[in-house]
Amino acid sequence: MPMPLAPSPAPQAGLPITAVIFDMDGLLLDTEGFYTQSTQAIAGRFGKVFDWRLKQHTLGLGALPFATMIVQALELPMTPQDFLAEREPMLEQLFVQAEAMPGAEALVRHLAAHGVPIAVATSSRRHYVDLKTQRHRDWFALFDAIVTPDDPEVHAAKPAPDLYAVAARRIGADPARTLAFEDSPNGVLSAVAAGLRAIAVPDPAMDRSRYTEATAILDGLQHFRPQDWGLPAMA
């Protein structure tokens, strides 16, 4: 049984934070349910079930590693490429409905208003980012960079460090003074591998013991206190 989530205290040591990089799915935008819905629609055709026992291991993975894991774990009679091709039109219809996660827009607007360099490092391809942010273009336009796995400088998906390393470089950030927000264990590993400190904001069903590399754990972005990290306080 996963332990209940509660805000964890910020560290007392370390350089003050001067830049922030965010994951997107399940962190800024409430999209994880769309992946569950579309994956189960495919699995269900073969009498299979895509539930939390499997999903918890897929969070933060790129599209092909995700599809490979699903096809193998559920023994689906298709290739990972076939799975992705069947899932794509379902996701495209769902993504335009994406809602913001609690506290996400307010925090992004606050950091941007105070001149803090901010970026997104997401496992979603650029086409999907455009669909997911259709209803949120005004505040997503505040990001100084949005880095996706189809970026030519990104050679490996999370948990490799590429996405965070490229995002930090694009906004001129020192990784040692950059904070990452992530909902998945793979995302936390990616950020830490790139030299960042990471705050985990997990799904309530996730076992928080899987976030041993995170500097802190919060149960929502609305509970983040920027001043504890050397950033301007929110009013």
Q: Which residues are catalytic?
A: 23, 25
Taking the C-alpha atoms of residue 155 and residue 40, their distance in angstroms, rounded to an integer, is 29
For residue 157, what are the contacts with CB-CB under 8 A and spacing of at least 6? 61, 62, 65, 123, 149, 163
Taking the C-alpha atoms of residue 179 and residue 234, their distance in angstroms, rounded to an integer, is 17
Taking the C-alpha atoms of residue 153 and residue 137, their distance in angstroms, rounded to an integer, is 24
Structural element, H or E, at residue 199: strand 197-200
Taking the C-alpha atoms of residue 48 and residue 153, their distance in angstroms, rounded to an integer, is 37
Q: Whole-angstrom distance between the N-terminal and C-terminal Cα of the chain? A: 37
- Residue 203, SS3? coil
